[in-house]
Each structure stands twice: as structure tokens, then as C-alpha cells.
Amino acid sequence: MKLSFATANPQKLIVAIPWLWLALFFVMPFIFILKISVSEPQLAMPPYQDWIREFEDGLLTITLNFGNYLLLLEDDLYVSALLGSATIAGISTLLCLLIGYPMAYAIALAPSHWRMPLLMLIILPFWTSFLLRVYAWIGILKDNGLLNQLLMSIGLIDQPLQILHTPVAVYIGVVYSYLPFLVLPLYATLVRLDNTLLEAAADLGARPLRQFMTVTLPQSVPGMVAGSMLVFIPVMGEFVIPDLLGGPDTLMVGKLMWTEFFNNKDWPVASSLAAVLLMLLIIPFVFMRHFEQRTAEEEK
């Protein structure tokens, strides 16, 4: 075995090392999620060493327990958390598209020597701590925060608005944190667009808005989908933003998983939640891969 490894051709080794790493530390763990999600909750009490208890007395006794999944269906809490996450992720993705599309388009239309600095400005916030940027919004949105002070000083409101710990704050936080993920792939698509089609449309007398709607917008669909999935999928499992900016009524599955795991120490239920979320996310992921590959092929 060792010999065959040493004499193996380097090409195989180059593929094998990252493949094995990801198989072991990225794919294998999901098998354990599935495994723990069907185990008995009482065995899951700390200490965690007591986890694998199916092989007692040398006998292989497998007792699958789908009770955790039934609990997810029976208890409204879990279903509403999944729906809550989907709603927040969906609406935030749309908001990111609405804000991000004009930005990506403006950068793509800008003179070429301007594009790099403009893009850098989009990426730069991403390099500073995510946690600290979410924290910044607490200072802005809280009752005596900057936004309320501003609104009161210009006389728009008399009483401070409660924004922090409401869904609005979660939307602001999500859109703020994930906007760059949408702008970048969208820009990459828009900047490569075939301008001859646009010129043809203009020559034939189409107005700017019509040119945009019939030529630019349809051509940018792959970038829009890829970017949207880069927002939608991770937001579905977001924990930090709903925890810091949301209130008790902001139900999101990531936060619920955290509570089940760290506060209730219920590893099986947390695992079955993770398994359900994982299954649900496969669909948008396949979607994303499909459109990414399409743009990659167009590039060639």
C-alpha cells in the first residue's frame, strides 16, 4: 500500500490529497449528522463519550429512532423556524438583487480603469470582521441609536422607533452582510456581455429601458441566479445576524439549532434539524452549480 502510494504518479496524488481531505472532513461529517439524528435522545446527554452505544455487550443492536424527525413535524416551532428562515432568505435575496443589480451594472459600465477600484470598494468590507460589522448595526438601530437620533433631530418622528430586535433589523443585517456576494458574480456576467447586441437594438430604435429589458436583463440571468444562491443558501442557516439583531419572535432555523445544541444539549434534535436543512439546500445548490457551469462554458 505504502509502496504503491510512493510510486503513484504525481497527477493522481494531486487529485487524491484534496479529495481525501474533503471526503474525510466535509462529506463524512454529514453521515454522522444522519446517524446521530436517528439516535435516542437520552443517550445524547453529556458526557458525549456515551454517544455510540449501538454495539453493547458485543452485540450489534441497531435501534433507529425517527422520533426526532416526528418531533420536528409535530412541533410548530421547527416548521415555523424553517419557514421563517426561507422567508427571510428569500426576501433578503430579492432586496440584494434590487440593490446589487444597479451597483454591478454601474461598475460594469464604468470606464475600465475605474472598475478595479470600484470592485475593491465592494470587496473591502468583506475583509473586515463580519461579527464586528453586524455589531455596528446594534449601535445604529437601537432605541437611542444613531438612526433614531437622526430621525428625531430632523423632526420626522417624536418617539424612537423600535428597529433593533425586529425582523426589519434582521433584513438590514442580512442585506448588508451578503450584498457583495451578489454584486461580484453579477458584475462578472455583466462585464462580459456582448455589446453588439445592445448596439443592434439601439440602431433598430429601441429605447434604453427597452434595450435593458430585452437584451441586458435576459443575458444576465445566469449571474443573477448564481449570485442569488450565494446569498440564499448561507442565509438559510444564518445564526449571528438573527441572534444579535433579531428579537424573540425572529424564528430562524440556524438560531434554533444553536439553542437546541448549546442550551438544551439536545444533539439528536439539532442533528435532525441540520439533516432537514441540508436536504432542503441541495435543490438550490444544484441550481447554482448548473448556472455556474453555464457561465463557465460561455467564457470559453
Partner 1 sequence: MRAMFMRYPVLICLLLAGYAFLYLPIFSLIIYSFNESRLVTVWGGFSTKWYGELLQNGPLIDAALLSLKIAAMNATLAIVLGTLAALALVRFRKSRGHASLGIMVTAPLVMPEIIIGLSLLLLFVAMEDLTGWPAGRGQTTILIAHATFSMAYVTVIVQSRLAHMDRSLEEAALDLGARPLRVFFTITLPMIAPALAAGWLLAFTLSMDDLVIASFVSGPGSTTLPMVVYSSVRLGVSPQINALATLFIAVVSLAVLIASVILYRQQKKDN
17's CB contacts (< 8 A; 6+ apart) are none
Q: Of the two residues 104 and 167, which places its CB atom closer to partner 1 in the complex? A: 104
106's CB contacts (< 8 A; 6+ apart) are none
With CB under 8 A as the contact rule, the residue among 5, 29, 247, 298 that binds partner 1 is 29
Span near partner 1 by CB under 8 A; candidates 59-67, 69-77, 154-162, 266-274: 266-274
Residue 225 touches partner 1, criterion: CB under 8 A: no
Q: Are 127 and 180 in contact (CB under 8 A)?
A: no
With CB under 8 A as the contact rule, the residue among 70, 74, 135, 217 that binds partner 1 is 135
Residue 5 touches partner 1, criterion: CB under 8 A: no
Residue 242 touches partner 1, criterion: CB under 8 A: no
Q: Of the two residues 5 and 19, which places its CB atom closer to partner 1 in the complex? A: 19
Residue 11 touches partner 1, criterion: CB under 8 A: yes
Q: Output the CA angle 158-161-162, nearest 5 degrees.
A: 150
Task: Count CA atoms closer than 13 A to 67's CA, side-chain side.
Answer: 9
Q: How far apart are CA 116 and CA 120, in angstroms?
A: 6
Residue 21 touches partner 1, criterion: CB under 8 A: yes
Q: Of the two residues 66 and 285, which places its CB atom closer to partner 1 in the complex? A: 285
Omega of the bond leading into 47 within 30 degrees of 0 (cis):
yes
Helix, strand, or coil here: 63? coil
Residue 179 touches partner 1, criterion: CB under 8 A: yes
Interaction residues for partner 1, span 146-175 (CB under 8 A): 146, 149
Interaction residues for partner 1, span 189-218 (CB under 8 A): 202, 207-208, 211-212
50's CB contacts (< 8 A; 6+ apart) are 43
Interaction residues for partner 1, span 60-89 (CB under 8 A): none
Residue 258 touches partner 1, criterion: CB under 8 A: yes
Task: Count CA atoms closer than 13 A to 63's CA, side-chain side.
Answer: 12
Smallest separation (angstroms) from partner 1 to the CB of 179: 7
133's CB contacts (< 8 A; 6+ apart) are 125, 176, 177
Interaction residues for partner 1, span 85-114 (CB under 8 A): 99-100, 102-103, 105-107, 109
